[in-house]
Structures are given as C-alpha cells and as structure tokens.
Amino acid sequence: MPAETLELLRGTLDLLILRALKVESTHGYGVLRWIERATGDELRIEEGSLYPALYRLEKRGWITSEWGVSENNRRARFYQLTRKGRAQLETEVDEFVRFARAVFRALDVTPVSA
Amino acid sequence: MEQDKRRRYMSFFGPRPESDVEDEIAFHLEMRAKELMARGMNQAEAREEARRRFGDRARLEAEMRRMEREKARKDARLAFFRDWRSDLTFVRRSLVRQPLFTIAAVLTLGLSIGVNAAIFSAVNAFLLKPLPVRDGDRQMVLMYMFKKDNISSNVSYPFYREVKELPVFEDAVAWSGWEVALRNGNNAQKGFVLAGSPNYLTALGIRPALGRIYTPEDAAARAQVVVLTDAFWAREFNRDPSVLGRTLHLNDAPFTVIGVLPPAFIGTQPLIVPQLMMPLESLVSFYPEITRNLEDMSWGSLRVLARARPDASMEQIRAAVAQYSADLERRYPKELAEQRVAVERETRARPDLSISGIVPWIAGVFFGMVGLAVLVACANVTNLLLARATARRSEIAVRGALGAARSRVIRLLLTESVVIGALSLAVAYGLARFSIHWFNNLDLAIDVPVSFGLEMDWRVFGYAAAIALLAGVIAGLAPALMGSRTPVSDVLRESGRSGAGDRGRTRFRNTLVVAQVAVSFVLLVCGALFMRSANGAAQLDIGFRRDQLLLANIDLSFRRLDSAQTRRVQDRILEGLAALPNAQHAGLGAHVPLGGNNNGGNVFIDTRPAAAPQGLYQVFHSSVTPGFISAIGLRLREGRDFAPTDDAGTTPVTIVNRSLAAALWPGENPLGKRFRLQEGGKEIEVVGLIDNAQYLLLGEQPRPFAYFPLRQRPSNLTFIFLRTKSADPLASVADVRRVILDVDPNILVTGFRSMETHLDHGLALFFVNMAATLATAIGLLGLLQTVVGLYGVLSYTVAQRTREFGIRQALGARASTIIGQVVRQGSVLCGIGLGIGLVIALALTRTMASLLYGVSPTDVLSFGGAFLVVCAVAFVSVYLPAWRASRVAPASAIRSE
C-alpha cells in the first residue's frame, strides 16, 4: 500500500460504487475493497464518504440494500444494483470517458485506452 | 453471538436504525482488521489501524443514523401503499369470486344511501342552499303575519321603502309576480313576470349573461323593457343572441328585450320560475293603477328581501323589526291592526313563512326514516360479512398464524367493507340522480312555472359519500374485530367446521335480528300511516265536488278592454258554455280553491252589528258568475245564487259561508244582513249562505269567505268551471275551445284540467301524495331489507346447525320437534323486536300527527298491518331453512356442512 494516495475526483465515487456493484452484490467493505484493488490501491476511499454515498444512491433508487449473512457468517448489509442503477452506470461511464478524453486532449496526453 | 442471533430475527419485524448502523460499522471494522491481520499485523495493531483509517466514527455514525431513519420512514410509507394495493387486489378477487354476496351487499347499501341522498337533495334545496345572489346568506324575508293564525301576507311598497332604511339592513329589494298574456309575434301564451323594485337586479348583484339588466334609471323612466330568464330564452328563442332588441307584447303593450339572466338566477320567488323580469314602475303600461298602488300602504302585493349588515345579529334584527312593527301599528291602527311584521332568514322562510315552520319537521321525519333504512342496510351488510367471516375463519386464522399482525387483518377486512361502501356509493349516486331528475320533471297542475331546484351539487354528493364511507366502516367493524380475534388453534381443531358455539357472535347476531325487526316495523308503520293519510286527504270533505268538473284558465288581458267589453266577453263565454250538450252547470270564477296563491285578498269589515265581538275581520273573497256555485258543487244552504240582474247598477250582494256568518251574526240568520268592504263604501247585502269549504290549505280550519258577483267586482283573469254530464270532464275540452274561439280567437285559454287533477297534482294534495309515495317507498325498502336480513341471518343460523340436527335426528328426534324449536327461537327474537319497534313507532308517530290527514297517529290498521307483515316475513325466514334442515338425511348432515 503506497504511502500517498490520490484524492478522489468529485463525482467519481458514485460511479465507482455503481461499477463495483455491477460485478457482484456486496457489503460496504466489499465495495471499498473492490475500488482499492481495481485502482491498484491508488485511490483512497474515505469511509466517511462511502457510507453516506451508499445511502444517497439507495435513496435515488440506483441500488437497494438488504441484510444478509457475510462469507464469515456475520450479519451484514448487502447492496445491489437496480435496473435503474445499471442504466445510470452506463450513462455515467460514457460521460466520464468523454470528460476524461477532453481533459487528456487539453493536456495533450494520449490515454492508454479509452 | 446469542444477541446477534436475536437481532437477526428481530430484523423480520421492521427496521431498527440504531443497531443497524452500529452493526454495519462494526462489521466494516472487523473486516478491515481481518484483512490487516492477514497482512501480518497482530490483532491489537490491526484493530487500532482499522479504527484510525475509519476516521471520525461518532460523526459518521450520527449521519448514517439520520439517513437510516429517513429511509425507514420512506420504506414504511411505501410498505403501507404496497400493502394497501395488495389488500385491494385481495378484496377485488374475493368480491368477484362471490358475486351474489357482492350484489346483495352493494344493492342493499346503495339503495338506501341513494334514497338518503335524494331526500338530502330536497333538504339541501329547501333548507340549506342560499339564494344565488350577492350575500345570499345574509338575506332576510320580511312579511306581515296575522296575529290570529300566523298566516303570512305580502307587504306594500311604502313598507318596503321604510324597511330599506332600517339601520340593521344595508339594502332591500321588493318584487311581485304577475300573470300576463305574453305575445311573441303571433305566438301567444301565458307568461309569468317578476316585477321588481328599481334596484332589484342591481342590489342582488346579478350580472347579465347577455345584454344588460334593468337599472333604477329604467324604472324611473318607466321604460318598457324586459330581461329574460335563461330557461325562457332557451325554450322560446333557442338561445339566439339576436333576441336583444326584439319586441314582446305583455298584455298587448310592447316591451323591448334588453338582456338575458344567468342560468343560476331564477328570481327570488320560492318554487316559481318567471319567464321575464321588469321594473314594477313599468307595469303602468298595461296596468295604470300601479302608480297609485305603489303609494298605498295597504296594497299588500309585494315580497321583500333585505340584506342584513354583516355585523347585525339575528337578535338585533328581530328587535329592530319588532320596533318597526309596533311603530306601523300605531301609524295605521285600522289597516294593520291584525298584523305584525315577521322577519326570518331567507333559508328558513321557504316556501312561505306560514308553513316554513313545519318544513324542518317534515325533513326530520323523512330523515329519520331513511336514516333507519341505512341502519338496516348496515345491519344487513354486517350480517352478510359476518356469515362470510365465519366461512373464512380458517383463512383469516391461518393468516394470523403466519405472522400477519391483527391490525393488518382488521385493515384487510375493513378495506373490504369500505370497498363495498364505495361501490354502493356508485349505485346511490345513480339512484339519487334518477330520483332528482324524476322529481324535477314532475308534471304539476299549477298555473305558474315551478321549479324545486333539486340538484346533485357537491353538498349532496359529499353527504352521500360520507354516509357510504361511514356505512362501510360501521358494517365492517364488528365482523373485522370478531374475525381477527379467532385463535388459530380453535379453527384448526374444528378443521373448518363451525358448531353452534361461539356465543359472542350468536348473541351479536341475535341483537341484529331484534334491531332489524324493530326498525322495519317502524318503517312499515310510517309508510302505512302516510299512505292512509293520502287516502284520508282524498276523502276529506273539502266543501265542493271533485268529479266531473273541468277547469281552464282564460285571460282577457290580451287587449285592453274596458269593463263593459270585458263583461260582454265573459257573458258570451258563459252562455256558450252553458249551451254545450255535455254541460250540467257552468260558471266563471276569479280563483280556484286550493290553487295555492292569489286566492282572495284581505278585506276589512267596518260596520258591525252589536252582537259581534269587537275587532276587524279578515275575510278571503272571490268574484264569480251565476252558475259557479252549482258548477263547483258548493252547498247552498239558504237564499239564492247570484243572478244576471246582480249588476254594476243594482244592490251589491254577496254569498257568505257559515264561518263568516257565525263570526258576524252568531246565532242569527245572515240573509238580508249587510256589511261594507271599505269605510264609507257601499253596503253589501247577504243573499246566500253556503257550507264552509277549504280554500287555501288542505285541512285548514274553516275560514270566513265571501263570494261577490263578477259583474260587481270584475276581474280579467278567470277560470272556467264546467260541470259535465260525462264522467270524464276532459271530453269537453275541444267544445270549450270552440266556444272561446267563437267569442274571440285572441282569448288566451290555458291549463285545461279536471278538478281531480288540480287537487292531486296541484298544490292541494301534491305534497301529501309525494309524502305518501316517498314514505311507502322507504317502507317497502325497509321491508325488502328485512326480508333479506332476517332470511339471511336466520337461515344462516339454522344452516350452521345442520350437523347438530342431523345428530339429533339420528338419535330419534322428530323433524317437527326440531322445526318447532327453531321457530320458537325465532319467534322470541321477533317478539322482542316487535315490542321495541312498537315503542319507537308510538313515540315517532306522535310527532307526525300534524303531517297526517284524516288518520290517527296510532291508527290500528297501520300498526296491525305492519305487525302482520313483519310476522309473516319472520315466520317464512325461520320456517323454510328449518324445514330444509330437517329434511337432510342425518348421515350426510353429520358428514358435511
């Protein structure tokens, strides 16, 4: 784990949570770990931002939660993507890519992949 | 671990925001620590590191709790609606699955709510709805009342002008109704005109729908202008906007149409819809005396509405009017001695101050009846639901056992009965609409256009909806509470069978039976009493004959004839009528008895023989031709009928009734006695004495009445009275038309009807007949409901005991013994119900005494009839199912339900 991690860009947290849940339904810690692993531990997710974000997404109807039993047999709240959330993820990915390309173009850097 | 397990189960019973948030955070920390330990940290370090990374735990926890609670609230709301939707789905399925039950329940409730709403719409129109004028709730009616008998009478123009200036009033309007010969081009008809004070339309805040309204300037100029009511505009001109500027002839005087009134405003005369409105002052163009009349304090032909100041209390208004009344009496000791001025809120003075006092009574009686009908309907639906709840006991008990909360089950069952209530509202709405339409379109034998103004407005609908909802809840409450209480063990033990047990429920149903018997007995008694009353009213001695008498209205105001011409025309008509082959007797008269308005006037007799008591006398009178007395069938006891020689130039004569004779010359023969009509007027000699008759109201106390020869007191408006030889007087209609056509084709002849129709469909008997029809309908509705209810309950109770009967028969009991026992049980319940019903009926009918004609409120026939009918219905309801139960083979009865 690197000593310094990148600050999360505003708005990207929601996108990453949705993306994490697209892989599988999981609990809050699972979401956090997926993001850390998927970004090669480059991104630092604050618990203080994650959980409110989960509530927010649930309120918007993009994810739902239900209590279940975790892999180590503990009671845990599992989050899953709704159909609405899946559609939202697609739009947000598109938007983010357009945004990133624009920023890359401005910085005159060629992205590794779109 | 133990605690954890408990929490897990708890989660089935709803969200717990505090512990959920705590759990989630604890889980997170534990997972993080585990991961760190996997990387080689020891447990203490790992925990410390996890906590450090987590950050400000207290703050986050607080925030999460807030969000969690918010979510829980939203979820609860959603769950409520989801449950409700599933309840509705369930209810819909179960109602569709049992269509007979549904139809029975909905019709039972719907019919009685519909009748209720229809009655309410009448109450709304007569008692609640303010006039559609400016500040309708502040309008006051002012009239004279005779101190002696509280009969109201109209007021004069000077009276109106003085009332307008009383400090408790902001403004006032006055008006009177006029029958006119109305000619539009070549089309002549009878018209009813409302002639108002100069400010009549402006002060009432009326805005024209077309053109303009008349103003005080029109009145000052005596302009010959008229404003049309919407109904007349639609009927006569097909709503043609080019009607403005057209000329209409009223009694042969040309008037210009200047505007059309909005549909809502039909004038302020209760029940009557005029075709036209115009200023009183403009009447001068065809009625020259009006100018003098308007200055005359004793010309009582106007009605007055005064708008109270917003801050004036009813007491202040009454006090101010009482003071004015005393003041008037002092200024006019002769003319107004017998009267006082009465003031009342407009809504409390319909249709007239004389009878508005009993209108709330009538409304109360009918409300009571339909209220009872709704209660019976509720009881019936309760019964049906109870019977079904019993049949569904296992289903509901199992739901309970599977974790449905009791409140959920109650809610489901209540939803069901409220849905039934809503469906009944639809039935009720239809029925009420139909009744209102029927009532508004009744064909009345009255000379002026009448409207009852019944309509389905928001008040009526709201009322029906409230009753339907309430009825739904009331009907559903008991079954819901009882149904939800059944413990599952009981039901499962019985494996769906129901025994004779469950005492609470049996007692409840017994109470319902008793209540139902009582209520239907009361309804039947009321219905029977009103029916007998209508019959009694038809048998009442009204002092003249009803049969073989043709009436028609002839109007000679189409041309301004002088009095000699008028007399000649009337003579020729009378001769023509008397010569008809079908005629027994023919006469003309200025009024038809029991015709409602304009029957006679107020006359003062100022010369008095010593024998008579002091004070002025109030008599009603009319002008008639020779032959009238025989034609109408008044009984002439002494003296003679008028003769053609009783003319303008000869001695004024009169025929008086016994009541007048007894008042003026008690114990003496009135023939040859004399009185005057005005101070210094000519003496009038009594030449005939007739029996008393009914003149203004059916069932009235005998009132003094005098007839004068038409030639001595002329009138342009007269009625034809033709006693025919044929049983059907209408057979002569064509002949009468021909007679009149021969005299002058321009004479307006309208309103052909038999005296019987005049009485039955006119003002005399109409309300009595209506009351009888309505009361009978409610009584029959009550009876129908009783049949449904009693048969339903008793047969259900018996059917439940089929198994018991089977066992008893198998053990040797005879069928007749079982039937006897069931019938005995039913009889006890009915007996109690009849006893209670009798007490209620006796108390209720006593208050109805003033509404009944020729029948005592404790009429034996009505009570006996109702008793027999209820007994018969109850007996059949008990006997049939008992007999059926006794026929079932014991073995099969034991085996199955």
pLDDT tens sequence across B745-766? 888 888 899 998 888 887 777 7
CB contact under 8 A, B28 and A74: no
Residue B520 has pLDDT above 80, yes or no: yes
What's the gap in Å between the CA of B13 and the closest CA on chain A? 13
8 A C-beta contact, residue B584 and residue B725 = yes
The predicted pLDDT at position B222 comes to 95
A/B interface, count of CB pairs below 8 Å:
60
Interface test with B, best of A27, A35, A36, A55 (most B CBs within 10 A): A55
Question: What is the distance in angstroms between the Cα of B396 and the nearest Cα belonging to chain A?
Answer: 29
- pLDDT for residue A6: 57
**Position of tokens 């010309």?**
B299
pLDDT of residue B163: 94
Structure tokens at B735: 């002949």
B75 interfacial to chain A (CB closer than 8 Å):
no
Same domain, B311 and B364: no
The partner residue sitting opposite A48, judged by closest CB among B30, B55, B67, is B55
Inspect the interface and report whether the beta carbons of B67 and A55 lie closer than 8 Å.
yes
Helical ranges in B55-199 per DSSP H: 57-97, 99-123, 157-164
Percent of chain B scoring above 90 in pLDDT: 31
Cβ of A51 within 8 Å of Cβ of B27? The answer is: no
| pTM, to two decimals | 0.69
Q: B379 lies in a domain?
A: yes
Chain B partners within 8 Å of A33 (Cβ) = 35
Show which of B303, B337, B371 is a domain's final residue. Answer: B337
The segment with the largest mean pLDDT, out of B134-148, B464-478, B630-644, is B630-644
CB contacts, 8 Å: B71 with chain A: 55, 58-59
The answer to the question of residue B244 being in a domain is yes
pLDDT of B683: 84
- Does B308 share its domain with B405? no
- Here the tokens at position B843 are 């108390």
B24·A76 Cβ contact <8 A: yes
* Closest B-chain CA to A58: B71
Chain A positions touching B54 (Cβ under 8 A) are 47
- Report the residue from B8, B28, B70 with minimal CB separation from A28: B28
Angle at A70 between CA A69 and CA A73, to 5 degrees: 75
Q: What is the pLDDT of residues B317-344, one digit of tens each?
A: 999 999 999 999 898 887 777 788 999 9
**In one letter, which amino acid is A41?**
D
* Same-domain pairing of B315 and B198: yes
Nearest-by-Cβ selection for B67 from A46, A52, A76: A52
B35–chain A Cβ distance below 8 A for any pair: yes
Note whether B248 and B282 are same-domain residues: yes
Order across the sheet with A26-27: list the strands.
A26-27, A75-81, A63-69
Q: Which of B292, B308, B337 is the last residue of a domain?
A: B337
Nearest CA in chain A to B59: A48
Going by C-alpha positions, the residue among B318, B362, B322 that lies closest to residue B344 is B318
Q: Is A33 in the B-facing interface, judged by CB distances under 8 Å?
A: yes
Predicted pLDDT of residue A86:
93
For an interface test with B, which of A1, A31, A47 has the most B Cβ atoms less than 10 Å from its Cβ? Answer: A47
Task: Print the domain residue range for B429.
Answer: 99-132+357-496
What pLDDT, on a 0 to 100 scale, did the predictor assign at position B207?
Answer: 94
Q: Sketch out chain A's domains with CATH numbers.
A: 12-104 (1.10.10.10)
Structural domain total, chain B: 4
Q: Is residue B524 part of a domain?
A: no
Of A28, A48, A52, the CB nearest to B24: A28
The verdict on A19 touching B (C-beta cutoff 8 Å) is no
For residues B649 and B679, membership in a common domain is answered with yes
B4 CB within 8 Å of a chain A CB: yes
Query: What pLDDT is stored for residue B486 in this prediction?
Result: 58
Q: What are phi and psi of B352, to 5 degrees?
A: -155, 145
Model confidence pLDDT, tens digit, residues A65-86: 888 888 778 888 899 999 999 9
8 A C-beta contact, residue B212 and residue B258: yes
Query: Do residues B185 and B231 lie in contact, with contact meaning Cβ atoms separated by under 8 Å?
Result: no
Return the minimum-mean-pLDDT range out of B190-204, B246-260, B313-327, B587-601: B587-601
Confidence of residue B10 (pLDDT cuts 50, 70, 90): very low
Q: What is the percent of chain B where pLDDT is above 70?
A: 88
List CB contacts (< 8 A) between A75 and chain B: 4, 7-8, 23, 27
Which is more confidently placed, B825 or B400?
Answer: B825
Instruction: Give yes or no: residues B87 and B106 share one domain.
Output: no
* Nearest-neighbour CA in chain A from B64: distance (Å): 7
| DSSP class of B155 | B
The yes-or-no verdict on residue B12 having pLDDT over 60 is no
* pLDDT band at residue B719 using 50, 70 and 90 as cut-offs: very high
> Which chain A residues are Cβ-neighbours of B67 within 8 angstroms?
52, 55, 59
User: Is residue B364, in this structure, part of any structural domain at all?
Assistant: yes
Q: Which residue of A has its CA nearest to B34?
A: A72
Q: Is B217 on the interface with A (CB under 8 A)?
A: no
- Does residue B795 belong to any structural domain of this protein? no
Contact B24 A47 (CB under 8 A): no
pLDDT above 50: residue B487: yes
With respect to residue B897, please indicate whether it lies within any of the assigned structural domains.
Answer: no
- Nearest CB to A70 within list B8, B27, B35: B27
Indicate whether B107 and B182 sit together in one domain. no
User: Domain check: are B593 and B726 in the same one?
Assistant: yes
Answer yes or no: do B224 and B321 share one domain: yes
Percentage of chain A with pLDDT > 90? 21
Chain B residues close to A70, C-beta within 8 Å: 27, 31
Q: How far is CA A110 from CA A103, A107, B116, B511, B765, in A?
A: 10, 9, 83, 90, 103
Contact B512, B379 (CB under 8 A): yes
Q: Could you read off the pLDDT of B231-247 as tens digits, one per residue?
A: 999 999 999 999 999 99
Distances (CA, A) of B299 to B295, B458, B568: 8, 42, 29
DSSP H helices, B495-602, are 503-539, 563-578
CB contact residues (below 8 A), chain A span 78-107, against chain B:
none
- Look at residue B185 and tell me if it is in a domain: yes
Write down which residue in B444, B469, B496 finishes a domain.
B496
Q: Are A90 and A6 in contact (CB under 8 A)?
A: no
C-beta atoms of B7 and A47 within 8 A: no
- B78 to chain A, any CB pair closer than 8 A? The answer is no
Residues B427 and B458 in one domain: yes
Give strand pairing partners of B721: B551, B587
Q: Is residue B758 part of a domain?
A: no
Res. B542: pLDDT tops 50: yes
**B2 or B607: whose pLDDT is higher?**
B607
The two structure tokens encoding residue A38: 């998927």
pLDDT for residue B391 is more than 80: no
How far apart are alpha carbons A81 and A27 in whole angstroms? 12
Please return the burial class of B245, using the count of CB atoms within 10 Å of its CB with bins 0-12, 13-18 and 19+.
exposed
Same domain for B669 and B595: yes
Identify the weakest region by mean pLDDT among A50-64, B93-107, B875-889: B875-889
Residue of B3, B4, B10, B27 for testing the chain A interface, max A β-carbons within 10 Å: B27
B319 and B363 fall within a common domain: no
In the predicted model, what is the mean pLDDT of chain B? 83
Contact assignment for A72 to B23 by CB distance below 8 Å: no
Of the pLDDT bands very low, low, confident and very high (cuts 50, 70, 90), residue B58 is confident
- Alpha carbon of A41: minimum distance to chain B alpha carbons (Å): 14
